[in-house]
Structure formats: structure tokens, C-alpha cells
Amino acid sequence: MTPASNSSKKVAFITGGNKGIGLETARQLGKLGITVVIGSRDLAKGKAAADKLRAEKIDAEVISFDVTNRKDHKKALDHFTSHHGKLDILINNAGVWKDGNPFQNTTATISGKDLRETFDTNFFGTVELTQTLLPLLEKAPAGRIVNLSSILGSLTLQADEKSPVYGTKAFAYDASKAALNAFTIHLAAALRDTKIKVNSAHPGWVKTDMGGKGAVMEIPEGAKTSVALATLGEDGPTGAYIHLGQTLPW
């Protein structure tokens, strides 16, 4: 099938893009003139989100997508190949939290089931999706991959008793984000001779379903780091760990 989209217009895929930071990231990218495709496990909710974006004059699409379903990875590849012929931006936004109370150390109590499910979404599914879509990103003039991490994945800060996150030891989530950061470093190194840039984003403690009511940042601010890394210029960083323009320690 011949790609139907305007080849000069950038195309972005945001996993878990039907709500929260993912939806706001899609909105902000869309307002920059980028075609946004949101992946949603619940297609009805995804369609409702895309309708909201289109009502704001944003070029938005939705596909049924679960990052833990490897068949959906192939479906996503087929969608971008047939409809666009490329992919400029991949934002690995989908994530889960299975640890419960963030201020309770879950290392000795987290179940193997919850640990595996956390890694399957936050790490394994994300890695395998990226590998599947990489050939399309390589066709883009300036591919960008953004991995939604967290400051809780910083081993340096988790080991520092004086750091602001030392008291948060949600083991499954934190370990999955540390693994995701390792993926960022390794993939950036693998792609260092290409036009693709790969970075980890810490959005901040944001008022989402996952962040909770005690969070200190509003959703539009929480999306800023992802948007900035998705639209980096040629002189921008790769293999970095960023929050609102500032580098975090691994």
C-alpha cells in the first residue's frame, strides 16, 4: 500500500497516549504540526482521546495497542509502514506501578508476579517494541526515541541517604526504570553513528492516576520534557537522562 500521509510532516507514536502525560504529550506535539498516533489498550478510550485532539485541530490517529502484546508490535509496524512509510518519533510512555504505597519499601514483599508484570510493561515490552520499529525510525531524517523513565530509577540518588528520593523504595517500579535507563545508554551507543537520538525523560511528580493527588506538577508541565526530547535539534544530546532541560545522575 502506498503511504497516504505527507512525507514532509513528522509522525510520532506515543504509547499509552489516551490519558495523562501521554495524551498531553500528543497534544503538545500536535500543536507543533506533528501527526500524532496514540496507542491505547482500550480502543474506545483511545478514540475518545483522538477525537479531543482533532477538535483542537490536531492531526491525530489512534491504534489499539498493548505494549505487552508482541502481536500489537507487528500491527504498529504495519500501520506506520502502510499509512506513513516512516516513523520520526517514538515516545515509550506506557508504564505501570504495582508496588502500592510509594513510601513503603517493597523489596522484601513484592510478589514475583507483580515484579514480572512491571518489567514486562516498563522494560521488556518497551525494548521489543523499539527494536521492532527501529527500521522505520532509521528512515526518518532525524529519528527521536524518548523513554519515559523516572527519577526513582536513578541508582545514584537511591543510594544517597541525603537525596530527595531515598525514602521511596518501590522496588519493582524503581528497578524497571533503572533497567530502562540502561537501555537508553546502550541503544544510544549503538545508534551513535546515525541521526537517531535516544534519551530518558523524567517528567516529574505529576498529578496523574499514577502520580496521585499529592503530586506537585500539573500534566502540561509534566509533558514538557518528553516534547523537548522528541523535538531535539541536531546539536541535542543523546544517551542522556533529562528533566526539564537538566541532566540527572544515573
Quick check: 30 and 59 in contact, CB under 8 A? yes
Query: Which domains are present in the chain?
Result: 11-97+124-152+182-247 (3.40.50.720)
Q: What is the pLDDT of residue 219?
A: 81
Digit-coded pLDDT (tens) for 36-45: 999 999 999 9
Query: pLDDT band for position 2 (50/70/90)?
Result: very low
State whether the Cα torsion 130-133-134-139 is positive or negative: negative
Number of Cβ within 10 Å of residue 128's Cβ equals 15
Digit-coded pLDDT (tens) for 93-145: 999 999 998 889 999 999 999 999 999 999 999 999 999 999 999 999 999 99
Q: Is 1 a residue whose pLDDT tops 80? A: no
Amino acid in the structure at residue 227? V
Q: What is the pLDDT of residue 5?
A: 45
Alpha-carbon gap, residue 9 to 111, rounded angstroms: 45
Q: What is the pLDDT of residue 185?
A: 98
Strand 35-40 and strand 60-64: the pairing is parallel
Q: Is 18 a residue whose pLDDT tops 60? A: yes
DSSP-derived letter for residue 151 is G
Digit-coded pLDDT (tens) for 58-102: 999 999 999 999 999 999 999 999 999 999 999 999 999 999 988
Number of Cβ within 10 Å of residue 195's Cβ equals 13
Catalytic residue among 13, 97, 173, 183: 173
Q: Which of 157, 13, 16 is nearest to 96 (CA)?
A: 16
Q: Which of 203, 187, 192, 206 is nearest to 244 (CA)?
A: 203
- The residue that leads in pLDDT, 249 or 20, is 249
Q: Which of 66, 152, 153, 172 is nearest to 112 (CA)?
A: 172
How far is CA 55 from each of CA 43, 52, 147, rounded to the nearest angstrom?
A: 18, 5, 28
Q: What is the pLDDT of residue 103?
A: 85
Digit-coded pLDDT (tens) for 188-234: 999 999 999 999 999 976 656 655 566 556 888 889 999 999 999 99
Q: Is 236 a residue whose pLDDT tops 80? A: yes
How far is CA 132 from each of CA 56, 76, 107, rounded to the nearest angstrom?
A: 31, 9, 32
Amino acid in the structure at residue 115? L
Neighbouring-strand partners of residue 13: 37, 90
Digit-coded pLDDT (tens) for 152-179: 999 999 999 999 999 999 999 999 999 9
Quick check: 245 and 199 in contact, CB under 8 A? no
* Residue with the three cell numbers 522494560: 123
- Which residue blocks in the chain are alpha helix, DSSP H? 20-30, 43-55, 70-83, 112-119, 125-137, 155-158, 171-190, 219-222, 224-230
Amino acid in the structure at residue 23? L
Whether 173 is a known active-site residue: answer yes
DSSP string of 11-38? EEEEETTTSHHHHHHHHHHHTTT-EEEE
What cell was used for 186? Answer: 546502550
Digit-coded pLDDT (tens) for 3-13: 444 467 999 99
Quick check: 143 and 137 in contact, CB under 8 A? yes
